[in-house]
């Protein structure tokens, strides 16, 4: 069974010492922009924009969009006016900060070993920096960014690592693998606890594993220790569990984020393509998600507030695609409508009391159940259709590659 490995970057694969690196980074950026923006104005804007990225739960905006709105608003200058200077900074100045870091000696052998085992590897670094900066830091660690299936950066992610939804989003962007999953990182508050809240197995990189294991339920030790630990626990023990309130809410928030990322800027042909006559196109799939959200999921949730031990119906949605002529809708517009519907659902769920998550019901298909389990069915439905979306895009990508070679 293939393992999906999520690897932190700073102080996991790369000796970074963020306490010294971040001030040096901020100061060098301020110096580069000083000809157009006074440092005393730039630094507060940079800190404020970063704080807003950490706080954001808005799955309709990337972290870059959140940052840019705050940063340039506080500076009182247009993005276009500063873009050439910023690009020059990341192309020329930022690479000179490499001396503040050093490769972890165990990192390259570990990653090569993981690839030799056939593991899928994503770099789960906090997506608070531009792609150029993150890719540069990966090179400092001794890696080519292209080695990895996915690297999270602020231009295409919607949550920071303080949120369990970040981990759900990165899995959604990987097509929600039905495999054992392990998150490896050094920061308990950003790498370990949020991943565990989603339901993932974790390994804490620590120089004092005996102290770490007292704080969190996780494997712990050096990066070199991960290999032996994996062999001792067995990969099948790392299958995730998405049954908690935290995991359900994280998946429901991450689904539109994942779809917004996966479907960003695709062309009309991709929206309408279906492999065979019986398959849904992406537009039809999004129509199904939108209407199911509005007419099934929200109805089921409302029943719990209106009745004691309600009967939860499950309408037949299989006929909607043809009857409602999904194929001829506008996919981008439908995605926006699904975003709106999901936000309404999440606003309802955030007000559910701890006691109400255990409220009993009877489901038309699954029999005796409760509110948490019904919400879990919605999350499972989400994961299935994100998998389907990812699969369609993968097929289209493979088709385009094979066609270009012929």
> Are residues 83 and 115 both part of a single domain?
no
pLDDT at 404 over 80: no
What size, in residues, is the chain? 406
In a domain, 244, yes or no: no
SS3 assignment, position 156: coil
Residue 216: pLDDT band with limits 50, 70, 90: low
Give the C-alpha separation, 237 to 230, whole Å. Answer: 9
pLDDT at 217 over 80: no
Residue 238: pLDDT band with limits 50, 70, 90: very high
SS3 assignment, position 59: coil
Q: Answer for the pair 240, 199: CB distance below 8 angstroms, yes or no.
A: yes
In a domain, 139, yes or no: yes
**Of 100, 131, 155, the domain-final residue:** 100
**Of 47, 65, 100, the domain-final residue:** 100
Give the C-alpha separation, 251 to 346, whole Å. Answer: 11
> Are residues 109 and 219 both part of a single domain?
yes
> Are residues 108 and 198 both part of a single domain?
yes
pLDDT in tens, 303-320: 998 999 999 998 999 899
> Are residues 272 and 351 both part of a single domain?
yes
What pLDDT is attached to residue 284? 95
> Are residues 274 and 392 both part of a single domain?
yes
In a domain, 108, yes or no: yes
Number of structural domains in the chain:
3
> Are residues 56 and 130 both part of a single domain?
no
pLDDT at 371 over 60: yes
Domain of residue 188, CATH code: 3.40.50.1000
> Are residues 114 and 95 both part of a single domain?
no
Structural domain harbouring 202: 4-11+103-238
**Of 238, 272, 291, the domain-final residue:** 238
In a domain, 154, yes or no: yes
What pLDDT is attached to residue 18? 85
**Is the CA virtual torsion 101, 106, 112, 114 positive or negative?**
negative
In a domain, 258, yes or no: no
Beta strands in 61-156 (DSSP E): 102-103, 120-123, 150-151
Q: Which residue has the tokens 């620590």?
A: 206
pLDDT at 215 over 60: no
For 203-231, give one letter per residue: b (16+ CB within 10 A) or e. bbbbeebeebeeeeebbbbebebbeeebe
> Are residues 114 and 87 both part of a single domain?
no
What pLDDT is attached to residue 182? 97
In a domain, 35, yes or no: yes
> Are residues 336 and 319 both part of a single domain?
yes
pLDDT in tens, 162-182: 999 999 999 999 999 999 999
Give the C-alpha separation, 26 to 30, whole Å. Answer: 6
pLDDT at 405 over 60: no
What pLDDT is attached to residue 403? 37
Residue 270 neighbours by CB under 8 Å, 6+ apart: 282, 393, 396
Domain of residue 378, CATH code: 1.20.120.450
pLDDT at 406 over 60: no
Give the C-alpha separation, 117 to 3, whole Å. Answer: 9
> Are residues 310 and 336 both part of a single domain?
yes
> Are residues 76 and 157 both part of a single domain?
no
pTM higher than 0.75 for the full model? Answer: yes
Say how many Å lie between the first and final Cα of the chain, rounded: 34
Residue 275: pLDDT band with limits 50, 70, 90: low
Q: 65-74, 89-98, 102-111, 394-403: which has the minimum mean pLDDT?
A: 394-403
In a domain, 62, yes or no: yes
Give the C-alpha separation, 11 to 282, whole Å. Answer: 39
Tokens in use for 116?
Answer: 């030799």
Neighbours of 272 (CB within 10 A): 14
Q: Output the average pLDDT for the chain.
A: 92
What pLDDT is attached to residue 255? 98
Residue 273: pLDDT band with limits 50, 70, 90: confident
What pLDDT is attached to residue 209? 60
pLDDT at 290 over 70: yes
In a domain, 74, yes or no: yes
> Are residues 227 and 306 both part of a single domain?
no
């Amino acid at each position: 069974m293939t393992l999906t490995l999520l690897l932190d970057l700073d102080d996991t694969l790369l000796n970074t010492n963020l306490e010294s690196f971040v001030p040096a980074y901020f100061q060098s950026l301020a110096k580069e922009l000083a000809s157009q923006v006074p440092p005393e104005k730039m630094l507060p804007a940079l800190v404020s924009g970063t704080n807003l990225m950490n706080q954001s739960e808005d799955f309709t905006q990337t972290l870059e969009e959140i940052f840019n709105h705050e940063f340039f608003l506080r500076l009182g200058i247009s993005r276009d006016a500063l873009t050439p200077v910023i690009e020059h900074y990341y192309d020329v100045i930022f690479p000179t900060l490499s001396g503040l870091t050093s490769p972890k000696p165990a990192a390259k052998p570990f990653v090569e070993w993981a690839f030799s085992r056939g593991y899928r590897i994503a770099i789960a670094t906090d997506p608070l920096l531009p792609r150029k900066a993150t890719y540069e830091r990966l090179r400092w660690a001794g890696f080519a960014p292209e080695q990895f299936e996915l690297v999270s950066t602020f231009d295409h992610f919607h949550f920071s690592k303080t949120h369990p939804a970040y981990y759900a989003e990165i899995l959604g962007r990987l097509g929600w693998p039905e495999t054992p999953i392990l998150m490896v990182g050094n920061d308990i508050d950003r790498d370990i606890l949020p991943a565990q809240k989603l339901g993932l197995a974790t390994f804490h990189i620590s120089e004092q594993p005996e102290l770490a294991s007292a704080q969190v339920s996780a494997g712990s030790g050096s990066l070199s220790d991960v290999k032996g630990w994996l062999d001792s626990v067995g990969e099948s023990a790392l299958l995730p569990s998405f049954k908690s309130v935290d995991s359900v809410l994280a998946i429901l928030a991450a689904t539109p984020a994942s779809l917004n990322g996966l479907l960003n800027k695709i062309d009309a042909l991709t929206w309408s393509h279906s492999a065979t006559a019986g398959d849904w196109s992406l537009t039809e799939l999004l129509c199904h998600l939108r209407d199911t959200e509005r007419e099934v999921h929200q109805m089921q949730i409302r029943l719990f507030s209106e009745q004691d031990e309600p009967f939860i119906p499950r309408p037949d949605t299989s006929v909607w695609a043809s009857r409602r002529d999904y194929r001829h809708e506008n996919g981008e517009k439908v995605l926006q409508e699904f975003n709106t519907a999901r936000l309404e659902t999440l606003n309802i769920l955030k007000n559910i009391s701890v006691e109400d998550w255990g409220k009993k019901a009877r489901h038309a298909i699954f029999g005796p159940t409760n509110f948490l389990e019904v919400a879990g069915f919605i999350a499972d439905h989400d994961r299935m259709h994100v998998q389907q979306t990812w699969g369609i895009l993968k097929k289209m990508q493979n088709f385009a590659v094979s066609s270009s070679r012929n």
